[in-house]
C-alpha cells in the first residue's frame, strides 16, 4: 500500500471513531421496586404494572434506557429485612417502595439512595419525612389515607347495615400506624352509641380466631383497616365475614370485587402511577427531599350487590347514587 493511501485510510478511521463512540447505547438506569405483597397476588401485579406503565408513558422503556430490579416480600418481616439489604446492594439510582412495612426496613440499609413510597399512612408521624411540604431526606412519596378516613368507614358501614349495634376494626398488630385510625373511630363512636373493639392479628389464623370471638354476639359489623397483612390475608378475613354474616367495609375496591360487601378508599394503582412521575423527576436530577409528599386525590366507592343480597341487605339509595362501581 502506498504511503498516501495509508494516510487517507488512517484519517478516515480516525474520523469515524467519534461516530462509532456516539452510537454506543447509554447505560441502563437502574430502578428498584420493593413490594410488600407477594408476586402471585394479582393486586400486587396490578400496582407494579401501573408504576411501570407510568414510567413508560414518560419515555422509560425497559431494556432500552431503564432496568427494573423487583423484590416481593409477601408481608414476611424476615424476608423484608433480607430483601431490603439485597435491593440496596444492587445500587439502584432510586427505589419505588410499595408500602409501610417495606419502608420500615429501608433506613437501616440506606440513607442516600432516593426512595419514593407509593402509599404510606402518616409518614411524618412515622418519622420518614420532616414534613409533607419538605420531606428533607432521601425519602418522599404519596400518602395512602388520612386518619379521618376511619370515621368515614364507620359512617358508611352503618348506613349500609343500619341493624348493626356493635363494630370491630380488624387491624394488623405489626402496623403501629393504625393506632391513629383506631383513635379516629373512638372519637366518633359515642355518636353511634355502640360498643367498639379492635381485633388484631398478624396471620390468617389470628384474624380468624379474633373474628370468631367477635361473632359470638349478634348484630356486629367489621371495619377492615388497610395494612399489608389484612391485604395478604384478605381471603381468610372475607371468608370469616361471610361465614358469620358480618357486614364489613374494606379500604380498597379489589376487596369488594373479590366478594367483600363494600369498599371505600383510594385507587392504589393511581398512587403507583403518580409515584412513577416522582421516579422520573429523580432520574432527571430532582432531590427527593425537595419533592413534597402528596395526599390522595382519587377515591372510589364499590358495592357488591350479590354479597348485599346474600346478607339480606337493601342498599340505600344514597350509596347507590354515589357508587363508582356496582358488582353484580
pLDDT tens-digit profile of 267-285? 999 999 999 999 999 999 9
Task: Quote the radius of gyration of the chain (alpha carbons, Å).
Answer: 25
Q: Is 172 left (phi over 0), alpha (psi -120 to 50) or beta?
A: beta
The burial of 258, by beta-carbon neighbours within 10 Å (0-12 exposed, 13-18 middle, 19 or more buried), is given as middle
Every domain of the chain and the residues it spans: 29-145+267-297, 149-266+300-327
- Kind plus residue range of the DSSP H or E element containing 22: helix 3-23
Mean pLDDT confidence for 26-50: 94
E-state strands within 125-230: 139-143, 166-172, 196-201, 220-224
Average pLDDT, the chain: 91
The burial of 6, by beta-carbon neighbours within 10 Å (0-12 exposed, 13-18 middle, 19 or more buried), is given as exposed
Q: Is the pLDDT of residue 21 over 50?
A: no
pLDDT of 18 reads 52
**Among 119, 84, 91, 82, which Cα is nearest to 227's?**
119
CA atoms lying within 13 Å on the CB side of residue 132: 11
Provide the pLDDT confidence category of residue 24 given band limits of 50, 70 and 90. Answer: low
Q: How far apart are CA 122 and CA 178, in angstroms?
A: 9
3-state secondary structure (DSSP) of residue 235 = helix
Q: Which CATH architecture has domain 149-266+300-327?
A: 3-Layer(aba) Sandwich (3.40)
Mean pLDDT confidence for 76-83: 90
Strand order of the β-sheet with 29-35 is 66-72, 29-35, 94-97, 115-120, 139-143
Q: For residue 59, what are the CA distances in angstroms to 53, 54, 62, 63, 311?
A: 10, 9, 10, 12, 48
**Among 47, 108, 49, which Cα is nearest to 77's?**
108
High-pLDDT (> 90) share of the chain, %: 77
The residue assigned the cell 495509508 is 6
Q: Is the pLDDT of residue 228 over 90?
A: no
pLDDT of 6 reads 43
pLDDT of 76 reads 86
pLDDT of 283 reads 98
At 282, list the grid cell.
429523580
Non-local (6+) Cβ contacts of 16 within 8 A are none
Provide the pLDDT confidence category of residue 101 given band limits of 50, 70 and 90. Answer: confident
pLDDT of 77 reads 85
CATH of 29-145+267-297, one of 3.40.50.720, 2.60.120.10, 3.40.50.740, 3.40.50.2300: 3.40.50.2300
Amino acid at each position: 500500500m502506498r504511503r498516501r493511501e495509508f494516510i487517507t485510510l488512517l484519517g478516515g478511521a480516525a474520523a469515524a471513531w467519534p461516530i462509532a463512540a456516539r452510537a454506543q447505547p447509554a447505560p441502563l438506569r437502574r430502578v428498584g421496586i420493593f413490594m410488600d405483597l407477594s408476586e402471585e397476588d394479582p393486586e400486587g401485579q396490578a400496582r407494579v404494572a401501573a408504576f411501570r406503565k407510568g414510567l413508560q408513558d414518560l419515555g422509560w422503556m425497559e431494556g432500552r434506557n431503564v432496568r427494573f430490579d423487583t423484590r416481593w416480600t409477601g408481608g414476611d418481616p424476615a424476608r423484608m429485612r433480607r430483601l431490603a439489604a439485597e435491593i440496596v446492594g444492587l445500587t439502584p439510582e432510586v427505589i419505588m417502595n410499595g408500602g409501610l412495612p417495606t419502608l420500615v426496613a429501608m433506613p437501616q440499609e440506606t440513607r442516600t439512595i432516593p426512595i419514593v413510597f407509593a402509599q404510606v399512612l402518616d409518614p411524618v408521624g412515622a418519622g420518614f419525612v420532616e414534613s409533607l411540604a419538605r420531606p428533607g431526606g432521601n425519602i418522599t412519596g404519596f400518602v395512602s389515607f388520612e386518619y379521618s378516613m376511619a370515621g368515614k368507614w364507620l359512617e358508611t358501614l352503618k348506613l349500609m347495615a343500619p341493624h348493626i349495634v356493635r363494630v370491630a376494626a380488624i387491624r394488623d398488630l405489626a402496623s403501629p400506624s393504625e393506632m391513629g385510625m383506631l383513635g379516629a373511630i373512638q372519637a366518633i363512636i359515642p355518636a353511634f352509641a355502640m360498643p367498639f373493639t379492635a381485633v388484631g392479628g398478624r396471620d390468617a389464623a389470628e384474624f380468624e380466631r379474633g373474628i370468631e370471638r367477635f361473632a359470638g354476639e349478634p348484630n356486629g359489623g367489621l371495619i377492615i383497616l388497610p395494612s399489608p397483612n389484612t391485604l395478604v390475608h384478605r381471603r381468610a378475613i372475607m371468608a370469616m365475614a361471610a361465614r358469620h354474616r358480618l357486614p364489613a367495609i374494606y379500604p380498597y375496591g379489589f376487596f369488594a370485587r373479590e366478594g367483600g360487601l363494600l369498599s371505600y378508599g383510594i385507587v392504589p394503582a393511581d398512587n403507583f402511577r403518580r409515584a412513577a412521575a416522582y421516579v422520573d423527576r429523580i432520574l432527571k436530577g430532582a432531590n427527593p427531599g425537595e419533592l413534597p409528599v402528596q395526599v390522595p386525590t382519587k377515591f372510589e366507592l364499590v358495592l357488591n350487590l350479590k354479597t348485599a343480597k346474600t346478607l339480606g341487605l337493601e342498599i340505600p339509595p344514597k350509596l347507590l347514587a354515589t357508587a363508582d362501581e356496582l358488582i353484580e
